[in-house]
Amino acid sequence: MIKLYAFGPAFGLIDPSPFVIKVDFYLRAAGLEFLRVPGFQNMRGAPKGKLPYIIDNGAVVADSAFIVSYLKAEYGDPLDGGLPAEQKAVVHAFTKMMDENTYWCLVHDRWINNACWPAVRKEFFGGLPWPLRVLVPMAAQRRVKKSLYIHGLGRHSDDEILDIAKRDLKALSDYLGDKEWFFGKGPTTLDVFAFAFVGGLVIPPFHSRMAEAARSFPNLVRFVERVKAKYYPA
Ligand SMILES: N[C@@H](CCC(=O)N[C@@H](CS)C(=O)NCC(=O)O)C(=O)O
| Each residue's pLDDT tens digit, 54-110 | 999 999 999 999 999 999 999 999 999 999 999 999 999 999 999 999 999 999 999
Residue 156 lies in a domain: yes
Residue 192 lies in a domain: yes
Do 195 and 165 have their domain in common? yes
| Each residue's pLDDT tens digit, 12-41 | 999 999 999 999 999 999 999 999 999 999
Please state the atom number of ligand 1 nearest to the C-alpha of residue 67. Answer: 20
Do 192 and 116 have their domain in common? yes
| Each residue's pLDDT tens digit, 201-218 | 999 999 999 999 999 999
Strand partners, 13: 10
Number of H helices, E strands in the chain: 11, 4
Give the Å distance between the CA of 51 and the centre of ligand 1.
Answer: 5
Read off the pTM. Answer: 0.97
Instruction: Identify the three-state secondary structure at position 187.
Output: coil
Q: What is the CATH number of the domain that holds 182?
A: 1.20.1050.10
Give the Å distance between the CA of 19 and the centre of ligand 1.
Answer: 7
Host H or E run for residue 86: helix 85-97
Do 185 and 141 have their domain in common? yes
Give the Å distance between the CA of 82 and the centre of ligand 1.
Answer: 30
Which structural domain, as residue segments, surrounds residue 120? 85-231
Residue whose CA is at the smallest distance from ligand 1 atom 10 = 17
Asked if residue 124 has its Cβ within 6 Å of ligand 1, the reply is no
HEC per residue, 17-76: CHHHHHHHHHHHHCCCCEEEEECCCHHHHCCCCCCCEEEECCEEEECHHHHHHHHHHHHC
- Decide which of 47, 75, 103 is a domain's last residue: 75
Give residue 78's pLDDT.
97
| Each residue's pLDDT tens digit, 186-197 | 999 999 999 999
